[in-house]
Amino acid sequence: MKKHTCATHNIRILFWAEIFGNMRFIQPVLTLFYFSRGLEEALIILVMIFFSTGVLVGEIPTGVIADRFGAKQAFLLGSTLSICAHGLLIVAFDSWVFFLSSFLTGIAATFFSGADEALIYESLKLSGEESAMDRAMGQVGSARFIVSIFVVIVGAILANDLSEAQFRFLLTLSLCFMFVQFILILFIKNPPNQGGVRTPMGKQIKAGYQAIRKSPQIFWMFMNITLVFIPAVAIFEKFDQKLLVDAGLPVYGIGFIYALTSLIGFIAARSIGWMTKKVMRIQLLFLTGMLAVIALIGVAFFHHSLSIMLLAMVSIKLTSAIRYPVYSQLANDLIPSHVRATTISLLSILDSIFDLIIFSTIMGIAHAGFTSMFLGCSLIAFIGTWIPINQKQAEPKQSTPEG
């Protein structure tokens, strides 16, 4: 990518904002934190359902806000709400407080969802670099893996005794870094072609729907992504801490395992451009989807084996790092600029609906144990992987940079 452009500026700011915004030191012991506060498996999945409900409620309004006022304003609102939601966990001893925190976190996420992609793509268009979208998303996404390398080790060590005081300290420490994210967002530059839409909300939503209808490949690509992501990443990562401990790993070791897999994810995310030169994007989606399916089947039958758990975590981290940036490139090449954030928000609503359906289904079989639960997850991921994508329509044409 070219230097000293609006795109490089915004990508750099988003990268650091992602780092500070994801300094969630409770993450390596989050599931154990839930259990210590009285939540059980079914209630933990219910917490996830409230998150998805928050996303469902917030997606359309926040997408419209991003298209009307720009991504920067949307990010500031999302950052503020995220701070409030995370602060609630300090006083969360009743299940309803966890549900409220998760619901608000879901709404906060929608201020970033879609708006970040719209900001990056429209910034890249200013310098004629749209074909670098997957690399840009990989760079921004790699921030999460860098964070994990540091945060999970520190968090796991500081919470080694799983005491109440340690949990409170981790939550408070995270809030400090989230305030830094808010300050960083103030330096984002809205491109002149991003924001400023004055179309009535109803017409704007209709235009987003028409964009999907005219390019059905957007919908099929979305289905391919979300039916793999929900069971392989969202559900698996809610239980990997307990599975690791049950497999014989000490609590302090969780951080080191997370750090190792995050390093692998970081390398993969930073290598998206190299991968897409060697393997077609459609093939990357299929290969990573099948990798997730195999990992989930392995967890279902051998979750008491520490070595199998480690292999599964690496496989799923690779899936998480590679699939979304590739999808983002393919989808954004088909979405009109004036309704980009709104269209992505419409797709996110579908994602939330599938969240609710899949979480509810898996919650219904969770009582049967981890084997049944992860076999169900593997079946859903398998279906998603085999959803066909029209290669000719999906693969973007390489644009020639201007200037």
**Which of 390-393's residues contact partners 24+ apart within 8 Å by CB, and which partners?**
390/217, 390/220, 391/280, 391/282, 393/215, 393/217, 393/334
Helix, coil or strand: residue 131: helix
Domain contains 388: yes
Structure tokens at 305: 């084996």
pLDDT in tens, 350-386: 887 888 888 888 878 877 888 898 999 999 999 999 9
pLDDT in tens, 378-394: 999 999 999 887 655 55
pLDDT of residue 149: 77
Q: Is 368 exposed, middle or buried (0-12, 13-18, 19+ CB in 10 A)?
A: exposed
Q: Does residue 147 contact residue 263 with C-beta atoms inside 8 Å? A: no
Q: What is the mean pLDDT of residues 70-74?
A: 86
The rounded distance, in Å, linking the Cα atoms of 225 and 375 is 19
**DSSP count for the chain of H helices, then E strands:** 18, 0
Domain contains 226: yes
Answer whether residue 152 shows pLDDT above 90: no
pLDDT of residue 194: 59
pLDDT of residue 192: 74
Domain contains 284: yes
How is residue 132 annotated by DSSP?
Answer: G
Q: What is the mean pLDDT of residues 114-133?
A: 81
Percent of the chain whose predicted confidence (pLDDT) is above 90: 26
The rounded distance, in Å, linking the Cα atoms of 214 and 216 is 6
Greatest C-alpha distance within the chain: 61
301: CATH: 1.20.1250.20
Answer whether residue 75 shows pLDDT above 70: yes
Q: Does residue 309 contact residue 243 with C-beta atoms inside 8 Å? A: yes
Angle made by CA atoms 255, 259, 265, in degrees to the nearest 5: 145
pLDDT in tens, 176-210: 999 999 999 999 988 876 555 566 667 767 777 78
To which residue do tokens 């289904």 refer? 361
Number of structural domains the chain divides into: 1
Higher per-residue pLDDT: 268 or 60: 268
Domain contains 88: yes
pLDDT of residue 400: 39
pLDDT in tens, 319-333: 988 988 888 888 877
Q: What is the mean pLDDT of residues 272-299?
A: 91
How is residue 247 annotated by DSSP?
Answer: T
Higher per-residue pLDDT: 231 or 31: 231
Domain contains 402: no
Structure tokens at 297: 């089947």
Domain contains 69: yes
Q: Where residue 399 falls among pLDDT bands split at 50, 70, 90?
A: very low
User: Of 35-44, 270-279, 375-384, which has the strongest mean pLDDT?
Assistant: 375-384
pLDDT in tens, 76-123: 999 999 999 999 999 888 889 999 999 999 999 888 877 788 788 888
Q: How many CB atoms lie within 10 A of CB 179?
A: 11
Answer whether residue 301 shows pLDDT above 90: yes
pLDDT of residue 401: 37
Domain contains 135: yes
> In Å, how far from its chain's centre is CA 129?
24
Domain extent for 350: 6-189+212-394
> In Å, how far from its chain's centre is CA 248?
29
Domain contains 227: yes
Structure tokens at 86: 């995370």
* End-to-end CA, the chain: 13
Higher per-residue pLDDT: 180 or 35: 180
Residue type, 205: I
Percent of the chain whose predicted confidence (pLDDT) is above 70: 93
pLDDT of residue 385: 93
Q: Where residue 133 falls among pLDDT bands split at 50, 70, 90?
A: confident
The average confidence (pLDDT) of the chain is 84
pTM of the model: 0.67
Higher per-residue pLDDT: 63 or 84: 84
pLDDT in tens, 233-268: 888 887 888 888 888 888 778 778 888 888 898 899
Structure tokens at 398: 């390489």
